[in-house]
Amino acid sequence: MLELDGSMGEGGGQILRTSLALSLLTGQSFRLRNIRAGRAKPGLQPQHRMSVRAAATIGQAEVHGDALGSKELVFEPGPVTPGKYEFHIGTAGATGLVLHTIYLPLAWNASGPSELTLTGGTHVKASPCFHFLDTTWRPYMELLGLNVKLRMLRPGFYPRGGGVVNVHVQPCRELQPLHVEQAVQAANVTVVSAAAGLPEHVTQRQARQATSRLRAERLNVDVQEEKWTAGPGTMLGLVLHTHPVPTLFFGLGERGKPAERVADEAVDQLVAYLSSGQGVDPHSADQLVLPLALAQGASTFRVSEVSSHLLTNISVIRRFLDRVIDSAGGAGGPGTVRIA
């Protein structure tokens, strides 16, 4: 049984999710101590507990320590069974993070397709929103040979949650390596300003602020305003039309936050990305290393920012897999990831 320390690196839930996925993929049991030790509320929170239980369900695992607030977990996997599953987080916990835990075990050498219904948050803090997953993450997975289809049936914001995402995962027999060097300079941006249960002027102000700032950066801007049901909540997404996949940056509304600041958060990320020399965005980078560690052949990709999430994820993968994974470049700046 592997002994893992949840306080390593950035000390967050990524350690747990990657450990669960790799345990299912390799059949290796593990004990994880100090779960989320680097967070203000350490231990398992609802979305992390659901990641554990979802992994245990699809992999017929024996689990000890999967209670809310638990700081230690033992996970002993069985065989992964594709099928139709429903997972309700019960809060605004991120549906995308539960998906990141189980999609690869359900796809890799699977005997059939799977369908998932995930209920919780679709646009919440400290996690990739649905639009990022569908616009950027999913196309990256397709480049690797993974066919994952996503559909948002209802948005879910903090604190209510209640968002519903439907996911179809197809079997994958072989994962392809990836090579992304300097990206082609992008000049076109699509602004997606959306709100649910809020006045129309909110989306208008978000779009107006983003458009003004982006045009000041000499970018071509196209605007889409959307009105959703449920809520209340709002988001602004900026789709930068990069190669080899579009890159989405987003800002989220919250009580007391002006619409203009929501737009500024997304624009600030996009401007920082463009000034980095580009490459893979930091949110995608830490998700790419896991499937690429299972791919045949070497991969190399430039990343716009070497994040603590990326470095921590590399450390966890090395514990489960005998694969050389190196990251060149200082933390917080651009760099290059090589998987030999």
Q: Could you say which of 48, 123, 131, 309 is catalytic?
A: 309
User: H helices of the chain, where?
Assistant: 13-26, 46-59, 95-107, 130-132, 138-143, 200-216, 259-275, 282-294, 308-320
Q: Is the dihedral of CA 15, 18, 24, 28 positive or negative?
A: negative
- The SS3 of residue 218 is coil
Q: Determine contact, residues 197/230, Cβ cutoff 8 Å.
A: yes
Pairing of strands 188-196, 220-228: parallel
Cα–Cα distance list, 214 to 188, 218, 250 (Å): 10, 7, 14
Amino acid making up residue 91: T
What is the three-state SS of 141-173? Answer: HHHCCCCEEEEEEECCECCCECEEEEEEECCEC
Rounded Cα gap, residues 107 and 313, in angstroms: 20
In degrees and rounded to multiples of 5, residue 322 shows phi and psi of -90, 75
Strand, coil or helix: what is 58?
helix
**Assigned token pair, 147:** 């066919």
Let me know if 309 is a catalytic residue: yes
Q: Following DSSP, what letter does each residue of 27-57 receive, concatenated?
A: ---EEEESTTTTSSS-S--HHHHHHHHHHHH
Beta pairing, strands 299-303 & 179-180? parallel
Residues forming the active site: 309
